[in-house]
DNA sequence: AATGGACCCAACCGCCCAGGT
DNA sequence: CACCTGGGCGGTTGGGTCCAT
């Protein structure tokens, strides 16, 4: 037997709360608890919890709050109530909205603006000759496999302002290995045209990002897996999308003849389905906290190496991260 | 000034679970 | 044990606002 409705839907008011209703609810709760309103109990509860109850914080989130949210999101995923528990005055709904509408984008902006050497990149496009060594050889521990973890471990400072950059990775970047950071201009397909987006993808490369024999760029999904794509002098669209969990890889290569550097992989963000288990979910949309197996190996989240209580302690102890602990744990796998 | 798209966020929906009967 | 109920939670929606054209 299914669950009974929480209220008589025909006889309850819905929609935004009026100031009169707010005052009434507050008054009732202060005097008698809930009752008397033509509101479903659930609605009253939510209104109270998210808006009316004392000491609710509204307005801007601080950098410190950002860090806490990012760290916990990286560790335990979208368990907003637990995250809210670490932020006095903030509600799970608030944090959820903040994450979905701002923080996620802010993180990407951080990576663009605050990664060392990025100024150079902003002034110069990559070419075969100037491909920034940082992105060729800079390795991060596998546990730092998402923007939020990079932020939460202090790799990136929490302030941000995002702006588009032009970026590509070229045939010259042959030293791409696992956990190498690659930043790419994001494009998307709109009415059969390729449209430049203001956002930027952060992608982890692996050995597959370059066909070493043919020296051709290849697609690289957020989990580091990818396939080889033939370069042409025109934008090439192949509708052979593969779902890598984190992104759809469009298999598009843009070879700009004017400057022989704009070989840009086109990728499109893909919102993960909650049902995507057993696949790596990539950089941006990672289902962290789940022990998933990507195409090219395994990922570890902080939760693999720490318990929830330890994570809380880590947060309060200024985010020091014990690399050896992760490595020890990896050894035992 | 009009309009359409993007963005934000309060509120709703539906599922799960614990506790009471 | 089965059923009922409400709390808790994460995902989603839709209306208001902003902003670019």
Of A residues 47-76, those with CB within 7 angstroms of nucleic strand B are 47, 50-51, 58
Q: How confident is the model at residue A59 (pLDDT cuts 50, 70, 90)?
A: confident
Instruction: Average the pLDDT over A99-103 and give the result.
Output: 78
Q: Check residue A64 and give its pLDDT.
A: 82
A15, closest nucleotide (Cα–C1'): B11
Residue A80 has pLDDT above 70, yes or no: yes
Q: Are the C-beta atoms of A211 and A231 separated by less than 8 Å?
A: no
Q: How far does CA A203 lie from the centroid of its chain? A: 12
Q: Which nucleotides of C are covered by protein (CB under 7 A)?
A: 3-12
Range in A101-105, A153-157, A213-217, A244-248 with the lowest mean pLDDT? A244-248
Residue A318 has pLDDT above 60, yes or no: no
Q: Are the C-beta atoms of A282 and A245 separated by less than 8 Å?
A: yes
Residue A62 has pLDDT above 80, yes or no: yes
Q: Are the C-beta atoms of A147 and A108 separated by less than 8 Å?
A: yes
Q: How confident is the model at residue A74 (pLDDT cuts 50, 70, 90)?
A: low
Collapse the DSSP code of A232 into the 3-class scheme (helix H, G, I; strand E, B; otherwise coil) and give the result. Answer: coil
Q: Check residue A234 and give its pLDDT.
A: 20
Q: Which nucleotides of B are covered by protein (CB under 7 A)?
A: 7-17
Q: Are the C-beta atoms of A220 and A230 separated by less than 8 Å?
A: no
A9 DSSP 8-state letter:
G
Instruction: Average the pLDDT over A80-95 and give the result.
Output: 85
Q: Are the C-beta atoms of A227 and A237 separated by less than 8 Å?
A: no
In DSSP notation, A80-129 reads HHHHHHTSTT--HHHHHHHIIIIIHHHHHHHHHHHSTTHHHHHHS---TT
Of A residues 101-160, those with CB within 7 angstroms of nucleic strand B are 101-102, 105
**Rounded-to-integer distance, Cα A142 and Cα A139, Å:** 9
The Å distance, CA of A7 to C1' of B21, is 20
Of A residues 79-98, those with CB within 7 angstroms of nucleic strand B are 93-94, 96-98
In this predicted model, what pLDDT tens digit does every residue of A116-137 receive, in sequence order?
322 222 222 222 222 222 222 2
- As a whole number, the mean pLDDT across chain A is 43
- Per the model's pLDDT, the better-predicted residue between A221 and A7 turns out to be A7
Q: Check residue A20 and give its pLDDT.
A: 64
**Rounded-to-integer distance, Cα A156 and Cα A98, Å:** 19
In this predicted model, what pLDDT tens digit does every residue of A182-217 receive, in sequence order?
333 333 333 333 333 333 333 333 323 333 333 333
A101, closest nucleotide (Cα–C1'): B8
Asked whether residue A78, judged by its CB, lies under 7 Å from any atom of the DNA or RNA strand B, the reply is no
Q: Check residue A57 and give its pLDDT.
A: 82
- Per the model's pLDDT, the better-predicted residue between A41 and A60 turns out to be A60
In DSSP notation, A19-47 reads HHHHHHHHHHHHHHSS-SSSS-HHHHHHH
Residue A102 has pLDDT above 80, yes or no: no
A287, closest nucleotide (Cα–C1'): C10
Asked whether residue A19, judged by its CB, lies under 7 Å from any atom of the DNA or RNA strand B, the reply is no
Collapse the DSSP code of A262 into the 3-class scheme (helix H, G, I; strand E, B; otherwise coil) and give the result. Answer: coil
- Per the model's pLDDT, the better-predicted residue between A259 and A141 turns out to be A141
Q: Check residue A16 and give its pLDDT.
A: 57
The Å distance, CA of A155 to C1' of C13, is 36
Host H or E run for residue A187: strand A180-190
The Å distance, CA of A25 to C1' of C7, is 19
Q: Check residue A47 and give its pLDDT.
A: 81
Distances (CA, A) of A132 to A103, A127, A142, A174, A205: 27, 9, 21, 12, 14
In this predicted model, what pLDDT tens digit does every residue of A158-169 receive, in sequence order?
333 222 222 222
**Rounded-to-integer distance, Cα A282 and Cα A144, Å:** 12
- Per the model's pLDDT, the better-predicted residue between A147 and A293 turns out to be A147
Instruction: Average the pLDDT over A290-315 and give the result.
Output: 33
A5 DSSP 8-state letter:
P
Range in A55-64, A65-74, A199-208 with the lowest mean pLDDT? A199-208
């Amino acid at each position: 037997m299914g669950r009974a409705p929480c209220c008589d839907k025909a006889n309850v008011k819905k929609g935004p709360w009026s100031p009169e209703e707010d005052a009434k609810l507050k008054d009732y709760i202060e005097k008698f608890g809930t009752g008397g309103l033509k509101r479903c109990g659930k609605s009253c509860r939510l209104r109270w919890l998210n808006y009316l109850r004392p000491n609710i914080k509204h307005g801007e989130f601080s950098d410190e709050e950002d860090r806490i949210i990012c760290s916990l999101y990286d560790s335990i995923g979208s368990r907003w109530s637990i995250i809210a528990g670490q932020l006095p005055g903030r509600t799970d709904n608030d944090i959820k909205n903040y994450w979905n509408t701002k923080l996620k984008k802010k993180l990407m902006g951080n990576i663009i603006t605050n990664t060392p050497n990025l100024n150079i990149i902003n002034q110069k496009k990559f070419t075969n000759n100037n491909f920034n060594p940082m992105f060729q050889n800079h390795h991060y521990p596998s546990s730092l496999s998402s923007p939020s973890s990079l932020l939460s471990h202090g790799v990136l400072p929490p302030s941000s302002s995002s702006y588009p950059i032009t970026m590509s990775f070229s045939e010259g970047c042959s030293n791409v290995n696992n956990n190498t950071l690659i930043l790419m201009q994001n494009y998307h397909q709109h009415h059969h045209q390729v449209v430049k987006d203001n956002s930027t993808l952060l992608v982890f490369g692996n050995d597959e990002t370059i066909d070493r024999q043919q020296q051709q760029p290849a697609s690289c999904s957020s989990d580091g897996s990818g396939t080889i794509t033939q370069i042409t002098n025109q934008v090439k669209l192949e509708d052979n999308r593969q779902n890598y969990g984190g992104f759809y890889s469009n298999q598009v290569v843009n070879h700009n003849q004017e400057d022989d550097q704009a070989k840009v992989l086109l990728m499109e963000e893909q919102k993960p389905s909650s049902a995507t288990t057993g696949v790596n979910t990539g950089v941006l949309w990672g289902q962290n906290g789940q022990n998933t197996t990507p195409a090219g190996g395994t990922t570890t989240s902080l939760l693999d190496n720490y318990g929830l209580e330890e994570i809380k302690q880590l947060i309060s102890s200024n985010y020091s991260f014990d690399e050896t602990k992760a490595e020890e744990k990896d050894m035992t796998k």
